[in-house]
Amino acid sequence: MKTIKGPALFLAQFAGDTVPFNSWKGITRWAADCGYVGVQVPTWDARFIDLDLAASSTDYCDTFKGEAAENGITVTELASHLHGQLVAVHPAYDEMMDGFASDPSVHGNPKARQEWAVDRVMKGLSASKNLGLTAMATFSGALAWPYLYPFPQRPAGLVEAAFDELAKRWRPILDHAEDCGIDLCYEIHPGEDLHDGITYEMFLERVGNHARANMLYDPSHYVLQALDYLDNIDIYAERIRMFHVKDAELNPTGRQGVYGGYQSWVNRAGRFRSLGDGQVDFGAVFSKLTAADFDGWAVVEWECALKHPEDGAREGAQFVRDHIIRVTPNAFDDFAVGGADEAANRRMMGLDR
């Protein structure tokens, strides 16, 4: 077994236009002050990282890591969620998704936007290699999501065609991930075609069980689906290569349940909460991941309908420290071990009589 590394913080929710949240040096210094030793970096935020330079220059990457290290911070992974989302967009979401592309020249042009997004994900993988990392987070995007609920009845073959196309788009990216030695970790997330275990398996089959098509485990998204987030670890342990520590609660009533009745986050039956304020049993989560030999980072992703983000971040660092299990090098009953050898074992079973 290995001790999970951390605490680390996903920076996406904290980026802003004011000090210290508007620069790489500033936000890493702030993260360290909050108690973090690592950060996960969104590839789409130019305030923190120049993705083109990171993909092409090891000198830039060395400087980038060095500036974080001066503040006591390790770069844990890159995260390409918004770029991955644009790899596959259903037309119903075209206008909404244009905002995810920082290049306005591709807005209103789904084909150009998709090509731009694929290039950005590819560059994220190259940058990860140059940074000496082993995994990168992303979203799968979605072509079938508008047809999630089976009414009106879906035409035969619709879902299969959507997943065939999704796999076709991602296969070259996964092959580049292999060339870079990077695990591409899909965050299993509502709104994506890969939103639970079954849909992940449907995709994995279509990409030939690709070794780089792995998972980012975030129990909060499973709580909101009423999915067994502990059993999920048992099933997919070998594919879980990243971990977001995020809490959530699902409190259905006679008026609303999983779907939320189109309400705001604070008024939904299911909502994200700061660590310790929701329903996730993190003692069990950390125990299962440790027993499964997960050797990655515990990365806090702060999302809460109630609490201020800076309070959530500071509390989250200590929360993770309190839950990381320093693994034992010994069995607890080693003190009582008796000397034995093969001959003694056979005598104890009466095999030589």
| pLDDT, tens only, 156-197 | 999 999 999 999 999 999 999 999 999 999 999 999 999 999
Q: In which element (H, E) is residue 75 found?
A: strand 74-79
**Confidence bin at 10 (pLDDT 50/70/90):** very high
pLDDT of residue 346: 84
Provide the residue range defining the domain that includes 270.
5-348
61 is a domain residue: yes
* Closest listed residue to residue 55, CA positions, set 124, 103, 121, 101: 124
Q: Stretch 274-288: mean pLDDT, rounded?
A: 98
* Closest listed residue to residue 302, CA positions, set 317, 282, 324: 317
Q: Stretch 127-143: mean pLDDT, rounded?
A: 98
What pLDDT digit, counting tens, does each position of 297-338 carry?
Answer: 999 999 999 999 999 999 999 999 999 999 988 776 666 676
d(CA 180, CA 126): 6
What pLDDT digit, counting tens, does each position of 86-96 carry?
Answer: 999 999 999 99
What Å distances lie between residue 276 and 61, 179, 230, 283, CA to CA? 35, 40, 17, 11
Which residues fall within 8 angstroms of residue 193, CB to CB, at 6 or more apart?
88, 140, 141, 142, 143, 144, 145, 162, 163, 166, 199, 203
Mean pLDDT, the chain, rounded, equals: 96
321 is a domain residue: yes
Position 242 pLDDT exceeds 80: yes
pLDDT of residue 341: 81
Say which DSSP state 248 is in. Answer: E
287 is a domain residue: yes
Q: Stretch 78-84: mean pLDDT, rounded?
A: 98
127 is a domain residue: yes
**Confidence bin at 208 (pLDDT 50/70/90):** very high
What Å distances lie between residue 133 and 76, 127, 136, 244, 317, CA to CA? 7, 9, 8, 17, 22
* CA atoms 26, 31, 34, 35: torsion sign: negative
Which residues fall within 8 angstroms of residue 226, CB to CB, at 6 or more apart?
250, 258
77 is a domain residue: yes
Q: What is the largest CA-CA distance in the chain?
A: 85
353 is a domain residue: no
Scanning the chain, the segments in alpha helix (DSSP H) are: 24-34, 51-56, 58-70, 81-85, 94-97, 110-130, 158-180, 197-206, 219-223, 229-236, 282-291, 309-323, 342-348
pLDDT of residue 329: 83
- CATH number of the domain that residue 115 is part of: 3.20.20.150
Q: Stretch 104-112: mean pLDDT, rounded?
A: 98
- Burial-class residue 328 by CB neighbours within 10 Å (0-12, 13-18, 19+): exposed
Position 340 pLDDT exceeds 80: no
Instruction: Tally the domains of the chain.
Output: 1
Residue whose entry in the numeric block shows the structure tokens 């200590």: 318
| Residues 80/133, Cβ–Cβ less than 8 Å | no
